[in-house]
Amino acid sequence: MSLSPENHPTTAAELIVIIDYGSQYTPLIARCLRDLGYRSESVSAAQCGAGLRARGVILSGGPESAGTGAKIPDWLLDQAVPLLGICYGMQLLVDAAGGKVHSDQQRAFGRDTIELATPDDPLFTGLPRQLVVWMSHCDHVGSLPADLQATAHNAAGVIAAVRHRRWPHWGVQFHPEVTHTSHGKAILANFCQHICAAPAGRGAAKAGREVVLARSALQRVDDLCARLKAEVGAGKVLAAVSGGVDSSVTAVLLARTLSQAQLCCVYINNGLLREHEAAAITAVLRELAIVPQSLDCQQEFVAALRGVTDAEEKRQIIGHEFVRQLEKFAQGKGFTHLAQGTLKSDVIESGGGERTHRIKSHHNVAALPAEMELKLLEPLRDLFKDEVRALGKALALSQRILQRQPFPGPGLAVRIVGEVTPSRLARLRAADAIYLAALHEHGLYDQTWQAFCVLLPLSSTGVRGDRRSQAATVVLRAVQSVDAMTASACELPIEVLATIAARITAQVDGVNRVVYDLTSKPPATIEWQ
């Protein structure tokens, strides 16, 4: 459907329209605008008919290169509609104006510092001259046409922001919508307020993030319960629970909405859990007053993964096996729906957009079988992790549950690079338990968003008892994040890391080397696979 005056006869002129070119971060643009109190709608370039009425248009990032992929609609470039190009969107603006976009060694991922050339620019009103921003691009602007001027550069002189000399068109090479860009939300607010003159609603722009989340969560609880009630009707729901915050919030929403006869929660022990994880899950569910059916499927999952080394294949096998075991349990019991704690980030990374590339198949999204007997029920599918935690707080879940660190559905299978075997699982469990215990001991666990070990299929030379040894390598990973869309490595004290490395190599058979992963997201993902 194209946006046009007919489609939005009274409200379209108040919208900020986001043209989605396939960026992983496009939904974050809409979320930022929503937090700021501005109304937006995401569309594809093909949906932008010449009758578009909007206060402003944001061109998202994307995985393609300017000149080879999608274009900005020609008619839009001839209008006085304010435009903001983000990353690939900026490159499209430059290309359309006759500038040059290059793909070479100037690619950048993660943190960068830029300096504003024109701090009085309305896009940067009220901001410091230097900004820490988050980059994710393989191409960069090489030269500008006469109609465009550079308004910011990084230390290497690469153009980080541009402005049209005649039209209200701006571009930024970085991503203001991600939490790791300092003042990113202020940049989007400046575009909406000072450039688009868009009306903000309910004073959300003045509220802090936690206030906005809490307000939205209270409104969402009743809405989600109503939608669940309407969708399930007189049906019966089988809910897959893991003890994590996502499935816990899903289970509590269902328990609040449905009768006891309509809901059955199931926990699957897939043999891919951390040490003592089963007991921790039981404690969480007991706190939620949920008594799940427990299915011991350890042998089935580990056997299905035998000989498999490819990460995507592992995820597909685990997704299929989950559904197979749940449908096997459900057979003859009258279940109509399968409920999961799927999040927006799961959908995005699984390639859930028109032009969005698949980063990895989440077992609960792209790894599901094409044909399923049960209808999927995913009430959190449009929310990010911090929004789910706020929802859990509104549902009165304890902090102990809400602050549980994320643990992937495929479990340790995606933290073992290469084949998953019982001996490698035991080795990783032991190393991971030492790592997490040390973080607790030194008061560092709560300072990380997610911390875990990875086992590599890489042996290295070592020495034990004056003898040569060949043993495996363990990677320590700890990151800071908000919504899992971007992440930065935690700078843990070197003396603590040295203590952890010494303990792992001394206590875990078959490991003689420990390294620390300092890579941000992007270019890496949080999990290794």
Contact status, residue 116 vs residue 127, Cβ threshold 8 Å: yes
Name beta bridge partners: 267: 294
DSSP string, 297-329: -HHHHHHHTTT---HHHHHHHHHHHHHHHHHHH
Which member of 64, 177, 349, 527 is catalytic? 177
Question: Edge to edge, what strands does the sheet with 83-86 contain?
Answer: 40-43, 16-19, 56-59, 83-86, 169-172, 159-164, 148-154, 100-116, 130-143
Q: What is d(CA 393, CA 374) in angstroms, rounded to the nearest whole number? A: 30
Which member of 175, 337, 362, 363 is catalytic? 175
Please say if 312 is a catalytic residue: no
Stated as kind and residue range, the H or E segment containing 133 is: strand 130-143
Please say if 87 is a catalytic residue: yes
Please say if 491 is a catalytic residue: no
64 phi, psi to nearest 5 deg: -95, 180
Contact status, residue 140 vs residue 157, Cβ threshold 8 Å: no
* Angle, alpha carbons 180-183-187 (nearest 5°): 120
Which member of 32, 48, 87, 490 is catalytic? 87
In 3D space, the residue among 284, 217, 275, 277 whose CA is nearest the CA of residue 245 turns out to be 284
The full 3-state SS of 338-398, as one line of letters, equals: EECCCCHHHHHHCCCCCCCCCCCCCCCCCCCCCCCCCEEECCCCCCCHHHHHHHHHHCCCC
Q: What is d(CA 330, CA 334) in angstroms, rounded to the nearest whole number? A: 7
Contact status, residue 257 vs residue 282, Cβ threshold 8 Å: no
Cα-to-chain-centroid distance, residue 382: 12
Catalytic residues, which ones? Answer: 87, 175, 177
